């Protein structure tokens, strides 16, 4: 299995697909591990930290679960579907465990704390359960599980950032990499489990971030995506007591590593993205003109129930400001259909704000009540699933129209494209993205190119998801 990196949307892994790592030479290692990740980019970045910890313990990675001595699932609790998928996979692996003596199975990440007793005791699906802040204890937990004991550590931390651990790049294209800059979240959005599964916000040492990004550039990577649940609230104060670093300053520091290093970031909370960030983006051409700006709902009433701390008018003004300072900026969003008490009028407000914001693409879901959240405790999940699905279909239809229109407006334009690899559908074509995070596919020519090269591509046609172009030759 590969990470879900399609020509449609580079970071579509947010939708919750499995991610298995590269294969090491089995003869090089005494033990092998297999890992799958689900959910957000933070989980995928965490899996690379886990891989580093395991590699230090003499484990090699494998793409084949039946080769593994240790199978790990890095889980997501954002949607019920993700939990169902993980449970199904654990049941499949349980059968493999019956056939292979000594095989250990573990659950990592956001599902760990909430479902630890079910997995360990009621269903006996796993041998170890490890929360997002406890990966350093994996070696001890593996030893404990190897004796037949159930091994658990789901304690949250106020300071863990894994800043000193060099991630092992799993299934990397050698061009783009994720770099975690902070962990946890202080926003208590009523629908979200992240504050409960990942704890409070804490920012990583900026010098360690710069070191990781510089090392990636020296190794040939040409794009980094700075990751956090809410990157705009990044705030690090050095132990020396010198001036603290905010996100705009960090963004500039990373951009200054080299003009040949593209910089992206995700995710932004509308209430926190500042003019300082936008001005910094405008000053540096290698900071990509793309912002993921989740709206969740277009209804002020529903936004208040969601505890999003802004109104529809305020959000529209933020979109206006982004496009005022960055007229060519691409914008994408997250949208939830059928949140508690949502009326048809609320739903129409969401469709309206989508059209106003002209999103290039969106991640769209119907509401899935998550145990332990504020919404689950305060509100009835009172919208019938049939209505949720119908509204979601309408949201998807509007987004499809917006995506196609956005791509059609690019026909005839020339973009700088960073080549990431072969087109998924045609190995005689290259695939890459422009600064707005749009995928471009163009035929290979006699010109010798490779992943990591920057090229100029003219857009000749498009689909709803992809720009189709041709290489511009001097």
Q: What is the pLDDT of residues 408-461, one digit of tens each?
A: 999 999 999 999 999 999 999 999 999 999 999 999 999 999 999 999 999 999
Query: Which pLDDT does position 122 carry in this prediction?
Result: 64
Summarize pLDDT for 296-353 with one digit per residue, the tens. 999 999 999 999 999 999 999 999 999 999 999 999 999 999 999 999 999 999 999 9
Query: Which pLDDT does position 287 carry in this prediction?
Result: 98
> What is the DSSP track for 341-379?
T--HHHHHHHHHHHHHHT-SEEEEEE----TTSHHHHHS
Summarize pLDDT for 58-68 with one digit per residue, the tens. 999 999 999 99
102 & 209 share domain: no
Q: What percent of the chain has pLDDT over 90?
A: 78
Strand, helix or coil for residue 310: coil
Instruction: List the domain range (segments joined by +) for residue 418.
Output: 414-471
288 & 396 share domain: yes
Query: Which pLDDT does position 371 carry in this prediction?
Result: 86
Q: What percent of the chain has pLDDT over 70?
A: 93
- Is the confidence at residue 16, as pLDDT, over 70? no
Strand, helix or coil for residue 330: strand
Cross-strand pairs, 401: none
Query: Which pLDDT does position 238 carry in this prediction?
Result: 85
Rounded alpha-carbon distances, angstroms, from residue 18 to 66, 360, 382: 16, 25, 31
Q: Is residue 29 part of a domain?
A: yes
- Is the confidence at residue 13, as pLDDT, over 50? no
CA-nearest of 238, 220, 231 to 174 is 220
Query: Which pLDDT does position 24 carry in this prediction?
Result: 56
Query: Which pLDDT does position 18 carry in this prediction?
Result: 47
457 & 397 share domain: no
Q: What tokens appear for 132 in the block?
A: 């997002």
Query: Which pLDDT does position 10 carry in this prediction?
Result: 34
Cα–Cα–Cα angle for 176, 199, 48, rounded to 5 degrees: 30
Q: Is residue 171 part of a domain?
A: no
57 & 98 share domain: yes
Q: Is residue 269 part of a domain?
A: yes
Q: Is the previous residue joined to 267 through a cis bond, with omega within 30 degrees of 0?
A: yes
Q: Is residue 168 part of a domain?
A: no
Burial class of residue 210 (count of CB atoms within 10 Å of its CB; 0-12, 13-18, 19+): middle
- Is the confidence at residue 151, as pLDDT, over 70? yes
Q: Is residue 449 part of a domain?
A: yes
């Amino acid at each position: 299995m590969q990470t879900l990196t399609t020509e449609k949307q580079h970071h579509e892994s947010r939708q919750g697909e499995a991610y298995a790592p590269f294969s090491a030479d089995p003869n090089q290692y005494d033990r092998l591990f297999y890992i799958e990740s689900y959910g957000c980019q933070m989980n995928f970045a965490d899996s690379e930290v886990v891989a580093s910890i395991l590699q230090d313990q003499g484990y090699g990675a494998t793409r084949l679960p039946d080769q593994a001595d240790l199978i790990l699932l890095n889980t997501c609790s954002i949607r019920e579907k993700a939990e169902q998928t993980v449970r199904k996979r654990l049941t499949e692996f349980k059968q493999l465990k019956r056939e292979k003596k000594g095989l250990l199975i573990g659950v990592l990440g956001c599902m760990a704390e909430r479902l630890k007793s079910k997995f360990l005791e009621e269903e006996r699906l796993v041998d170890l359960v490890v929360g997002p802040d406890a990966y350093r204890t994996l070696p001890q937990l593996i030893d404990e599980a190897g004796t037949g004991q159930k091994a658990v550590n789901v304690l949250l931390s106020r300071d863990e950032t894994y800043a000193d651990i060099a991630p092992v790049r799993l299934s990397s294209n050698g061009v783009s990499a994720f770099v975690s800059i902070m962990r946890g979240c202080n926003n208590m959005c009523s629908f979200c489990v992240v504050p409960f599964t990942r704890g409070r916000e804490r920012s990583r040492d900026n010098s360690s971030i710069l070191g990781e990004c510089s090392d990636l550039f020296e190794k040939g990577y040409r794009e980094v995506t700075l990751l956090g649940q809410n990157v705009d609230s990044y705030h690090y104060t050095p132990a020396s007591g010198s001036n603290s670093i905010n996100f705009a300053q960090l963004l500039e520091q990373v951009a200054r590593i080299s003009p040949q290093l593209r910089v992206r970031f995700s995710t932004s909370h509308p209430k926190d993205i500042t003019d300082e960030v936008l001005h910094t983006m405008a000053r540096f051409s290698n900071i990509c003109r793309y912002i993921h700006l989740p709206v969740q709902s277009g209804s002020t009433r529903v936004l208040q129930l969601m505890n999003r701390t802004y109104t529809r008018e305020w959000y529209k003004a933020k979109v206006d400001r982004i496009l005022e300072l960055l007229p060519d900026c691409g914008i994408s969003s997250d949208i939830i259909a059928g949140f508690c008490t949502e009326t048809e009028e609320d739903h129409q407000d969401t469709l309206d704000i989508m059209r106003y914001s002209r999103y290039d693409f969106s991640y769209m879901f119907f509401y899935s009540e998550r145990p332990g959240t504020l919404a689950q405790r305060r509100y009835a999940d009172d919208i019938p699933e049939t209505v949720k699905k119908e509204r979601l279909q309408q949201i998807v239809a509007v987004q499809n129209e917006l995506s196609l229109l956005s791509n059609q407006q690019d026909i005839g334009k020339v973009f700088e494209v960073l080549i990431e690899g072969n087109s998924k559908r045609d190995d005689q074509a290259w695939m890459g993205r422009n600064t707005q995070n749009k995928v471009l596919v163009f035929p290979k020519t006699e010109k010798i190119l490779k992943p990591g090269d920057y090229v100029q591509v003219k857009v000749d046609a498009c689909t709803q998801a992809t720009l189709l172009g041709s290489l511009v030759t001097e």
